[in-house]
A and B are shown apart, each in its own frame.
Chain A
Amino acid sequence: MRGGALPPALVSLALGLALAFAPRGIWRLSLVTLTVTATALAIAPVPRGWLDFVFLGCWLSVAASAATVHLPGGLRPRWAFAASLNAGFWSGAVIALSGSRLDLLKALPCVLVLFPAALGLGSRAMIAAKVAASWLIAIAVLAATLQFLPVTPGYMPDHLD
């Protein structure tokens, strides 16, 4: 098992943390972009053969979005928009291939972490956002690496063979 709501939820969480460090003026456009893109991809006929590629893109997006919290001054507006488009694309694609449309409703609200994270900017709580971002990077790297290991992951049906 590797699909479902969790991968797109982690993409949304990472984007939320990234947006918390971006200018507030870009938030609304970013949230709308994420929602529209993810919804469009979730109902699009994504080819089955893209499964591994889509998961890799999803994990790289989590790592890249989370890493932007360490940029001095956070994401610039143009990059925040691009990150939202990117997050929506991979979230929707993962759901189209290995989830249900209901998973979109579970995953997308995770982007709202941006509000509590933004409240903590400039205080000790900002550490929490940066630490949480590092956790997301760690999870994403582990999940991406697992695809390339010469072992049979537990989610493969032939694991007991």
Chain B
Amino acid sequence: MAAVAALLLGSPADAHVGTGLAGGFASGFNHPLAGFDHLLAMVAVGLWGAFLGRPLIYALPVIFPAVMVGGAVLGMLDVPLPPVDIGIALSVLVLGGCIVLSLKAPVWAASLIVATFAVFHGYAHGKELPSAADPIGFSVGFVLATGLLHVLGICAGFLNDRPGGVIATRSMGGLIGGMGVWYLCRAIGS
């Protein structure tokens, strides 16, 4: 899908037509990857989904972009939210914590946790969307990058089927949660 999108989207020069502004597929794709907090949270969603099994293994990566859109719309409308940096840092901390504790949350609770954090991540992306020269390309980019990070997390979660895999994936959760603590301290301190 990434290859198809790259082929179909205009060249960088096309993205600037009419406005002189940057912001197309590449900007959107880089947006979730540029912030390590975004990246860790996305991987954690997939990894936790893999821990929880069906139906959440595919429900969480479906719920996340659906709710993220709502957050993006709030961002585009500039609706005030509680500090987004703290929300994103908390998402890294909580999702990492759920993995390290191997928390078997019920479907509704896991969906609610992921959906809540999706609002903050979507808000951060949505703030930049309207000013992009190619907002559709930007949307494709950031949704695709987000989804690929979920898939990366799910694939890492398949390690659970191997001997010692659960220890490895829970350790990843510990690292993610640890980074979450650091991001939260930084967000509160700033």
Contact = CB atoms under 8 A, between A and B. Distances in A.
B57 interface: yes
A132 B1 contact: yes
Interface of B, helix, strand, loop or mixed by DSSP: helix
Contacts of B176: none
B69 A141 contact: yes
A134 B76 contact: no
Contacts of A130: 58, 62
Interface in B5-55: 5, 7-10, 14-15, 17-21, 23-24
Contact of A155 (B135, B140, B147): B135
A138 B10 contact: no
B130 A127 contact: no
Residue among B58, B126, B131, B150 having the largest count of chain A Cβ atoms under 10 Å: B58
A84 B31 CA distance: 34
B66 interface: yes
Given A134-B66, A139-B139, A154 B19 contact: yes
A4 B136 CA distance: 11
Contacts, number: 130
Contact of B130 (A113, A134, A153): A153
A105 B35 CA distance: 36
Contact of A160 (B9, B19, B77, B143): B19
Interface of A: 1-2, 4-7, 9-10, 13, 106-107, 110, 113, 127-128, 130-135, 137-139, 141-143, 145-146, 149-157, 159-160
Rank and list the top 9 A-B pairs by shortest CB-CB distance, nearest first: A138-B65, A134-B62, A127-B58, A154-B133, A142-B139, A151-B130, A135-B147, A159-B19, A141-B69
8 contacts: A4-B8, A6-B10, A135-B146, A139-B140, A142-B126, A142-B135, A146-B76, A159-B21
